[in-house]
Amino acid sequence: MVAVAAALVAAQPAPDHLVVVTALPGSTATQLLDVDPVTGSQTPLGGFPLDTLPPIAVTFDRIAGDLVVAVQDNGFARIVRLRYSGTTLAEQRELATISEPVVDLGMDVNGDILAGADGPTGGVFLVPRMGGLATRVIAISNVSSLYATPLSVGVAAREIPGGQPELVEFYPGGGFTGIANSVSNVPSGTRLTGAYEMGTALVRHGMADTLGNAWMIEGYGNVFATATLPPGGTAEIIPYPGPGWTAMILGGAAAPNLSAFDATSAGPPTLIAGPLPGDPVDVTATLPATPRLEWFGTSCPPSIGWTWSGYPQLGSTMTLGIMAALPSTPVVLAFGLSDSSWGSWTLPLALPGGCQLLVSGDALFVTATDSVGYASLTFSIPGQPSLAGTLLFGQWVQANGPTYLATPAFAAHLWP
């Protein structure tokens, strides 16, 4: 692990920043902007092959630090994964096309991409993390926004023509059983441009609409905080770390700014950055610079899994384990620099028996399981400051005769 880490250069968007996607006139129709929420500075990210198409949405992949962007083609949406090194595009992979009108993107607990789609045949679609056929997992019409992360309750907002909007809540990766509730005390015909569950003991949501309103509600109707922008001025609202219950409001063409809105105060939104160029359509937040492990993929078979002790903090140790594997049998922990390719192979790679290898095997560590199918390896992480921001991928694999078993994979983000 030391040798692998020493060879890696950090290649992710700046931590604890915001990324805005905005529509521009001219040949470059989609622009991605890195926004520093402290200084308000805006840094354009490099272009990508599909940026000639109008933007729809953007979301941050907390596993690899990629940006996933939806753009509008002729009658369908293209979902594309973008990997940046600083502001320079390092890799692009087109993931899927969806014929229904996509309005928003999110992420499920296994690292797959979720897309909310409008129209009578819309709903919530699941797109395999590294590409494949998009599958509708929640069939609901007229979706106007979607918010979903691996750690949140998913919320799909529905426009009800002539009625009050609905919030359809679900657990990403947890069966996708949606529970719908009407939002009272808002005007009939309201179209929500953003909605999320606040994760408090009481049921609370942050919401924004096309009329320029942003508000927090308790239950599904008790409005307890509001902010007002010009009509057409709210394109999105997302949760953001800060005092109280802070949200970040993205204004559209009528108010092209990023503003922080604290629902516990009576004050107006606080300008974070602006004016932004063009017509902003969506915003996503990157994660703070903290050591963490992010898992992705599924167990194969479902009984097998991995464990850990400690975190990938510079100068510390971390133990990684496999459980419920075949007893008293060799097992391999693969560490790699990539989750998208290994030499000439494109990942994921189908293994004999049907399980998938999700990471490159640039360094292989072999041990053996005990009598109950458990094994572990402990690694010392160098304390070199130059390794801050390093990203490593790992996965346990075990041979079972002519076939293989595999755990979910993980991404180790190294920080002080």
pLDDT of residue 5: 40
Of the candidates 392, 279, 256, 400, the one whose C-alpha atom is nearest the C-alpha of residue 328 is: 400
Q: Check residue 47 and report its DSSP letter.
A: P
Q: Which helix (H) or strand (E) is 106 found in, with range?
A: strand 102-107
CATH architecture of the domain with range 17-285: 6 Propeller (2.120)
pLDDT of residue 243: 63
- pLDDT tens for 282-337 read 999 998 889 999 999 999 999 999 999 999 999 999 999 999 999 999 999 999 99
- pLDDT tens for 246-260 read 889 999 998 999 998
- Supply φ then ψ for residue 389, to 5 degrees: 90, 0
Domain ranges of the chain: 17-285, 292-413
Of the candidates 87, 62, 105, the one whose C-alpha atom is nearest the C-alpha of residue 410 is: 62
User: What stretches in the chain show pLDDT beneath 70?
Assistant: 1-14, 173-175, 242-244, 265-266
Q: Check residue 272 and report its DSSP letter.
A: E
pLDDT of residue 199: 78
Fold (topology level) of 292-413: Immunoglobulin-like (2.60.40)
- Residue 177, classified by CB atoms within 10 Å of its CB into exposed (0-12), middle (13-18) or buried (19+), is exposed
CA distance 160 to 123: 14
CA distance 216 to 225: 5
pLDDT of residue 25: 93
CATH topology match: 17-285 vs 292-413: no
